[in-house]
Amino acid sequence: MSAIVEFDSVGLRYGTGAEVLCDLNFRLAKGSFYFLTGPSGAGKTSLLKLLYLAQRPTRGRIRLFGEELSDAPRSALPAFRRRIGVVFQDFRLIRHLSAFDNVALPLRISGRSDAEIEGPVREMLAWVGLADRASARPATLSGGEQQRVAIARAVISQPELLVADEPTGNVDAEMASRLMHLFAALNRLGTTIVVATHDIGLIAATPGAHMMRLDRGGLIDSTGALRHPPGASASPV
Ligand SMILES: Nc1ncnc2c1ncn2[C@@H]1O[C@H](COP(=O)(O)OP(=O)(O)OP(=O)(O)O)[C@@H](O)[C@H]1O
């Protein structure tokens, strides 16, 4: 299967500090589902930032959608970003927009009319259990509700790549399972998915997903970090 992401000897440091990611070499296969695990501080969020182009590597090369990014000018990055859905750990909802308008945003940016947007956004809000909160502003929503709006916004446009940082950290087990079904459905439609999580239950409930495990800035399986997920008896991540 062709690669949607390729990392070649990638390293990242913030400012003049030590490298927080070092010598990452891996390929993500188009249409596959990956979990990214590892202890707190291992570099998971930093790796996701490289994937959704919020950070550029301090060394090495990254190819995304078959294009070499190291040589790409800054002005080329927004077009890449529009092909990526992101669920941020801190949600990043737009405060002055309602839940409906936050979810509608990617469709509006891609030029869809209000008539085309209405149905899919209502359907997505219903799926994440927020049909009756469509007009609520983020500040009036609970943390779990904000997280569900953030997920709905990330998946609404069926991005080619979905990157999610602890996307179920604020919801109960039943909702977490529902959200994972949403990701699995998106994956069946062809979206490549990368989910950073500490939740063993989520991993065990997603057969066929691949594992990437980070420890102190390095992928533990340096040959490519791909293996099948552990069963329910797996050691804590
Ligand atoms: N903007 C930044 N400036 C400087 N150092 C940073 C910055 N962001 C992260 N770091 C450092 O990089 C390392 C990796 O952090 P990162 O947030 O990527 O880890 P993580 O695995 O996502 O952790 P967690 O599971 O707690 O979210 C940590 O040592 C952290 O202190």
Indicate if 102 and 196 belong to the same structural domain. Answer: no
Q: Tens digit of pLDDT for each residue in 33-47?
A: 999 999 999 999 999
Indicate if 41 and 130 belong to the same structural domain. Answer: no
In short, whether 21's Cβ falls inside 6 Å of ligand 1 is no
Indicate if 138 and 196 belong to the same structural domain. Answer: no
Indicate if 114 and 177 belong to the same structural domain. Answer: no
The reply to whether ipTM tops 0.85 is yes
The residue to mutate among 10, 44, 89, having the most atoms of ligand 1 within 8 angstroms of its beta carbon, is 44
Nearest CA to ligand 1 atom 29: 41
Count other C-beta atoms under 10 Å from residue 75's C-beta. Answer: 7
Residue 237, pLDDT > 80, answer no
Say how far apart CA 182 and CA 151 lie, in whole Å: 9
Indicate if 126 and 115 belong to the same structural domain. Answer: yes
Indicate if 126 and 225 belong to the same structural domain. Answer: no
Indicate if 78 and 5 belong to the same structural domain. Answer: yes
pLDDT computed for residue 221 by the predictor:
62
Indicate if 77 and 169 belong to the same structural domain. Answer: yes
**Cα Rg, the chain, nearest whole Å:** 18
Distance (angstroms) between ligand 1 centre and the Cα of 47 equals: 10
Residue 235 lies in a domain: no
Q: Mark 129-157 as b/e (b = at least 16 C-beta within 10 Å).
A: bbeebbebbbeebeeebbbbbbbbbbbbb
Indicate if 22 and 129 belong to the same structural domain. Answer: no
Say how far apart CA 61 and CA 25 lie, in whole Å: 10
In short, whether 38's Cβ falls inside 6 Å of ligand 1 is yes
Q: Tens digit of pLDDT for each residue in 107-132?
A: 999 999 999 999 999 999 999 999 99
Q: Which domain holds residue 188?
A: 1-65+73-83+159-229
Q: Tens digit of pLDDT for each residue in 69-82?
A: 877 888 999 999 99
- Predicted confidence band at 207 (pLDDT cuts at 50, 70, 90)? confident
Say how far apart CA 168 and CA 195 lie, in whole Å: 10
Q: Which amino acid is at 199?
A: D
For the chain, the domain total comes to 2
In short, whether 20's Cβ falls inside 6 Å of ligand 1 is yes
